[in-house]
Amino acid sequence: MAHSLLLEFMIIGVLGVGSQWLSWRYRLPAIVVMSVAGLLAGPLFGVINPEKDFGDVYQPIITMAVAIILFEGSLNLHLKDIRGLGRSVFRIVTLGAFISWILGSLAAYYVAGMSWAVSFVIGALFIVTGPTVILPLLRQSKLKPRPAKILKWEGIIVDPIGALLAVFALEIIIVLTGEDPNIVSLLLFLLASLFAVILGWAIGRGIGWMFETGRVPEFLKSPLVFAAVIACFTIADEVTHETGLLAVTAMGMTLANIRISSIQDMRHFKENISILLISTIFVMLTASLTRETLMQIFQPEIIGFVLLMLFIVRPLAILLSTIKTDLTKSEKLLVGWIAPRGIVALTVSGYFASILYDEGYEDAALVMSITFALVFFTVMAHGFSIGWLAKKLNLSAEGRPGTLIIGSNSFTVALAKILKEVDVPVIVSDSSWQRLSKARSAGVNFHHGEILSEQTDYRLDMTPYDYLISATEFDSYNALVSTAFVPAFGRNNVYKLSIQSQRGDHMEDLDPTIAGRVLFSGEISLEGLCEKVDAGYVLRKTNITNQYSYPRYLEEREQGTILLFVLRASGNVEYYTEEVKLKAEAGDVVISLTPPSKEVNKIKAKLDEQQYENAERERNTSEEQQQKE
């Protein structure tokens, strides 16, 4: 057992963030790694027990974390995006969610042996898949666009809906199943819910007005929103318990749907805070489980409930809700199988379990066990099967890591062509249809539109692309694009070209740490690369073998050759940068921009050889004719 709260906080933080890193490093479901870490530190080895050690502070910490996580999720709920969703997605997040709620509640009552009140509350919670779980799985599995879109938007939309549905189910059932049912109590709760919505809307609008009118400095915007979320939740919850979740969801949706320039920065800040909270809170919850709770997971009724949720409830809900839609059988099968429950389900269930237990529902003590069982088994089953099943159903876009290139010009089109030749997914994006004529005539994939537009997420499927290269004629725009996409691609996978001296916008004083890494060399700018391509430089592939080693290639390469990237034998692409000095091995292919002289000499030698062969052929023919005569 930890000897001080400070030491316990340190252990929780290290385990949480360390689990996230391990899951990223080895492509594992993060929730599985965090579960194992929490269980090892808590009930198995007894190093920490947050619920016991933190005492009265434990529940407020969990409650605050849930409020912030739900607020961050509601920031993704743009009403215009929901209206633009296809019929299949709309049916799944409405009719499908309702069917899942009813069937899950019936399964909890008849199979798990829970009371009606507890069954309908956790049935509502278990419709949540959640973006914190489903989005990493989608990045890992690389599905085709349509099934990926369905799973993504289901997670984003249903995430707050499940928690809110559980709130209403809790209050309504408490009123209806009480010893003295009182419709007045239900009306008061509905009025309090309306107050919570108005409060969240008012705080959201007020923050938006303050941001738009410049009444808040940039350095205070994120802290102000953070404090406002806590205040919004606390005020609503003090008026009537359980309405705080409704208030922060309304606040998040309000901020998401008013056009303020700071929303993207706030979203990144909230994502960072949310990831930190998810990491620490999940470790706290699992570490606080007792061995008795873990043993309850293996009870036949809980295992039976989990199996029903996996193999009956989810597939049946998707099948019924997608009748007469354009989804194929393969897509229905995949979407009907993939529904991992995650952080929100576990954290919110702990919140409701304590409330239900205080209301006298003793079976609420099993809520954490049944929730943890469902979360752990669904993440394990779906996390390790999604890639395999997608390939079996021909719904996988798995392939070599692709490259998204911003800016259409001579060099980027030539780079896209060579990437296409070596079977690497590539697309060139530009807002100018005229500049895209180069890409169109070269036969490479292209995207016409402003890459920084909010609509890009819905018009351009970025699943196949792991790298981004910003190579427009404006250095400031390249820096802006790179900075904007660092959270999505990772700083190591975002590249820009060196500052241009002639056609650029003179940003020589730009901090080199801003945005992505500089490609190739600081001495080679886009204007220089385009000039070389226009002058006849060619992109050349060189196979590295045991006989023709990489050091030998470097010695014999043509003077003026620019090394672009290495195509590894595994299919991965690694670009040359100022920071990283690559080394190619046998089986790799080095792609370089080579001066035309070597290629011209090759062509000339080939032509001379053909001329010699033609001359020999004519001479032989002439001699044969002379012999016949």
Mean pLDDT by 10 residues, the chain (629 residues): 79 90 78 84 88 84 79 71 68 90 92 87 84 69 78 77 77 68 73 90 91 83 87 89 81 81 60 75 83 83 92 93 87 90 74 77 83 85 84 76 87 88 86 85 84 65 81 82 78 76 52 65 78 84 86 82 85 81 84 74 61 68 63
**How many structural domains compose the chain?**
2
Q: Residue 315: enclosing H or E segment and its boundaries?
A: helix 314-321
Boundary-marking domain end, from 340, 365, 392: 392
Is 315 a member of any domain?
no
- 362 with 481, same domain? no
Is 224 a member of any domain?
yes
Dihedral pair phi/psi, residue 504, rounded to 5°: -80, -170
Total Cβ atoms within 10 A of residue 430? 24
Cα–Cα–Cα angle for 345, 457, 31, nearest 5°? Answer: 25
- 115 with 184, same domain? yes
Is 626 a member of any domain?
no
Is 522 a member of any domain?
yes
Is 622 a member of any domain?
no
- 17 with 121, same domain? yes
- Residues 33 and 30: their CA atoms lie apart, in Å, by 5
Q: Residue written as tokens 């049916």? A: 91
- 343 with 444, same domain? no
Which residues, in sequence order, are CB contacts of 7 under 8 Å at separation 6+? none
Is 629 a member of any domain?
no
> Does the model's pTM come out above 0.85?
no
- 370 with 441, same domain? no
- 26 with 137, same domain? yes
- 64 with 95, same domain? yes
CATH number at residue 572: 3.40.50.720
Model pLDDT, residue 266: 61
- 372 with 279, same domain? yes
- 385 with 427, same domain? no
Boundary-marking domain end, from 392, 417, 433: 392
CATH number at residue 49: 1.20.1530.20
Is 601 a member of any domain?
no
Note down the domain range covering 590.
Answer: 402-594
- Residues 50 and 42: their CA atoms lie apart, in Å, by 8
- 378 with 416, same domain? no
Is 620 a member of any domain?
no
Cβ atoms of 159 and 190 closer than 8 Å: no
Model pLDDT, residue 79: 65
- 149 with 288, same domain? yes
Q: Where are the beta strands (DSSP E) in 65-195?
A: none
- 371 with 489, same domain? no
For residue 176, what are its two tokens?
A: 């209806």
Cβ atoms of 250 and 229 closer than 8 Å: no
